[in-house]
Structure 1
Amino acid sequence: MGNINTNTNKDHIDVAVVGAGILGLAHAFAAVKRGLRVVVFERSSTPIGASIRNFGMGLVTGQPPGVMLGLAKQSRALWLHLAQRANFSAREAGTLLFARTAAEHAVLEEFMIVRARQHGYDASLLEGTQLETLYGGRFRHHRSALHGTQDLQLYSREAVPALVCYLQSQGVQFHFNTLVREARDGHLSTTAGEFRAERTIVCSGHDYQTLFADKLGEMNLKVCRLQMLRAAPQERLPLTHAVLTGLSCTHYGAFSDLPSAAGVHAEIEAKAPALNRHGIHLLVSPTPYQELIIGDSHYYGVDAPPFNNEEIDQLMIGLAEDTLGVKLNVLERWQGVYGSKGPGPFSATPIDDRTTVVLMHTGIGMSVGLALGERVIGALLDGARLPDPAVDKN
């Protein structure tokens, strides 16, 4: 791609992107800022997939050391750059991960001693007076709190459309309501006609059937289905941090491989096995409108069943009310769906000399996607190796 055609013909496409979720938009941004002519194809009328349905977290603190932590830090800088230019909210208060038990506190202590300094996590452990004075004492019923100061809050249902508008202003052309039926060797067959591009990047999320079903089938990919809520506190709660609990110590790679995390897992299994059975860990992300996005559960399979389980919602509401010390009114319930259980947290797979498929296999596309798009486009332009989580170190 180093000899990219600089033809200014309006019909010429340097980079065609299939999919307008955060990963597709990341590649479009990385390409257009290099002066390339970019066209994005999206089958729906607006992005409605995993990127809209999530918490809107740019989570740095939870990423495991190595390539994922590096991608999250790079993505954070890109989000702040874009928030100023595209006029959407990117709140920098960070996260508070509350330890409720001795086992959860032990994980936070081990993280600070063993991992934080060694790998450059920007975090602090709040105890005693620091915890008791937090939010006027609202959280004093917890044992300690890890404050991750690099984490961002992004209101997805506003940030993603704002990013589309910004990219349009930079010259990116969007074809919404357009299904790409085939993409091979620079040729795209779509419901809006035939197109040719120097390079095609396919970011098709958890759709493993429409394009390259044979190649993706070899990867034995799965889908993760989540239950999510939007709620309003019944009393004033001016929350500016995102909130997690020690349950997340068994979920996020920054903590889950620490020896002390096994104690948390055993404690959950002994006291609340339904949480493990449904893959529940609490994450509360405040919106710019004094509401709370609450989740989530995890179901892995070939498809996402459409039926919500009320037990799961009640467990999450109870966890949130206990953690925040406030009663909640539920405003919305929905299902999140994302691609999962791949060969690693992401993959960048060449199909032919002009076509590459880039997929997330975990639910952290908002946290790492912008940097992944930057690295993939950079590699293609330079003729370099594509990013690979199995071999990349940072």
Structure 2
Amino acid sequence: MTDLLIIGAGILGLSHAYAAAKRGLKVKVFERSATPLGASVRNFGQALVTGQPPGPMLDLARQSRDIWGEWARLAGLQLKRNGSYLFARSEAEEHLLEAFCAGRAQAYGYNVELLQGAALRDLYGGQFRHHRAALHGKDDQQLYSREAIPVLIDYLRGELQVEFHFSTLVRDVEPGQLHSTAGSFRGAQIVVCSGHDYQTLLAEAIAELDPHICRLQMLRARPAVNLNLQHALLTGLSCVHYGAFADLPEAAAVQAQILREAPYLHEHGIHLLISPTPHGELIIGDSHDYGRDASPFNAEQVDDWMLELAEQTLGCKVQVVERWQGVYGARGRVPFSFLRVAPGVSAALMHTGVGMSVGPALGERNISALWGAA
């Protein structure tokens, strides 16, 4: 009998597989598609520590940072560990970043530096001097998910003997056994990591969480000038989205400014993220559209707004080369869940879009709970 059967080869499934396999457990992973196609490869590849609120999410992000470092060393995946820059475009955003650095950052040990004046003007040869300030989140990491996830799978298969079953739909799970299009398999523990699919497996238990799906509009673009960008970029718009900043008193002025000057950004949940790829292009987004199902229809106006924000932030034009939809499970009562549905049957779910930031540590934590710290 296999020790652990995992359904889903996204970041949560792979994190659980790594945590179990490194303990010497026998692991099998099942994925319905020929390669992972969900949130884990559609995202920005930003593993952010700086944006996480104090408490469990910050702790998980810090632990995940260390695990990403292990994976980079062991599996050879490309990982930029030089941090991110969050730009303040207005006085209100600058005051918020100043308040964060003077208060919460010191109280909870965020590894950050606020660049203003000459330090900001020197950044990337003055490319971003039109901003008021830049918060350098030094613990933030960045990777190209489309390439990193397959590299991690190859490592788990080749070095830790994890057995993968791709193009395999798991139809049902029960204590000690799963039933799939490739046959039935026995396992001491089964963990369902099926992303935003709330209906195929353990539907009744998951429905009690009242889960929703978030759909994002995403772009890949080529900048008109060679920026040689080596950091993930954000703007003050993210300060009303990420828990590290959103509940600070100074965030109210930023939110009021957005509602006053660009209410459509709030209406469509738009806050700018930009990630460089290893091939000189940029991943740009994103918007947030919540519902029971992900609508297949994109709004061109939303893409236009995001591109306008990107060009303002970068200080140059960009040319779109690809568009797609991101999608993830969202809006649970808590950021993540680990459901013990039946003896030996569990489900690991994210209810926010920060799976890359906290998923590796969640896998470690959940496997630790199932097998102990050994």
Task: Compute the TM-score of the two structures, normalised by the length of structure 2.
Answer: 0.99
Classify 1:128/1:348 alpha carbon distance in 2 versus 1 (closer, same or farther; 3 Å).
Answer: same
Q: Secondary structure at the match of 2:230?
A: coil
Q: Of the candidates 252, 266, 280, which is equivalent to residue 256 of structure 2? A: 266
CA deviation vs aligned residue, 1:208-264 (integer Å, no higher than 9, x gap): 000111111111100000000000111111111111110001000000000110111
- Find the partner of 2:225 among 209, 221, 235: 235
> Deviation at 1:343?
2.1
State how far apart, in whole Å, the 1-side matches of 2:24 and 2:331 are: 35
- 1:83, distance to aligned residue in structure 2 (A): 1.2
In the alignment, which residue of structure 1 is the partner of 2:30?
Answer: 41
Mapped to 1, the partners of 2:262 and 2:373 lie a distance apart of 51
- Residue from 300, 310, 319 that aligns with 1:320: 310
Matches within 5 A, 1:278-317: 278-317=268-307
1:383 deviation in Å?
9.2
Give the whole-Å Cα distance in 1 for the aligned partners of 2:332 and 2:262.
29
AA partner of residue 50 (structure 1): A
Q: Which runs of no fewer than 5 residues in structure 2 stay unpaired? A: none
Among 164, 183, 193, the alignment partner of 1:193 is 183
Q: Does 1:356 align with 2:341?
A: no
Aligned to 2:208: 218
1:77 maps to which residue?
66
Cα deviation, residue 382, structure 1? 2.2
CA–CA distance in structure 1, aligned partners of residues 351 and 235 of structure 2:
24
Aligned partner of 2:91 in structure 1 is 102
Amino acid at match of 1:106: H
Q: Select the residue among 328, 331, 356 that pairs with 1:366.
A: 356
1:139-178 superposed matches below 5 A: 139-169=128-158, 170-178=160-168
1:205 maps to 2:195: yes
> Where does residue 51 of structure 2 map in the other structure?
62
Map Cα deviations across residues 87-143 of structure 1 (whole Å, 9 max, x no partner): 211001211100011100111011101110111100011001101111111111111
**Separation in structure 2 between the aligned mates of residue 207 and residue 343 of structure 1, nearest angstrom:** 18
| CA deviation string 1:170-201 (max 9, x = no partner) | 10000111111111111111111011100001
Is 1:257–2:247 an aligned residue pair?
yes
Unaligned runs of 5+ in 1: 1-11, 385-394
Rounded Cα–Cα distance in structure 1 between residues aligned with 2:184 and 2:259: 55
Secondary structure of residue in 1 paired with 2:130: coil
The secondary structure found in structure 1 opposite 2:103 is: helix
Q: Distance in 2 between matches of 1:383 and 1:95?
A: 33
Q: Counterpart of 2:317 in structure 1: which amino acid?
A: K
2:371 aligned residue (361, 381, 389)? 381
1:91 is matched by which residue type in structure 2?
K
Instruction: Give secondary structure in 1 for the equivalent of 2:369.
Output: helix
Q: Tell me whether 1:330 sits opposite 2:320 in the alignment.
A: yes
Coordinate RMSD, CA, aligned? 1.0
Residue type at the aligned position of 2:50: T
- Identity of counterpart residues, as a percentage? 59
SS of aligned partner of 1:90: coil
Separation in 2 of the partners of 1:217 and 1:74?
30
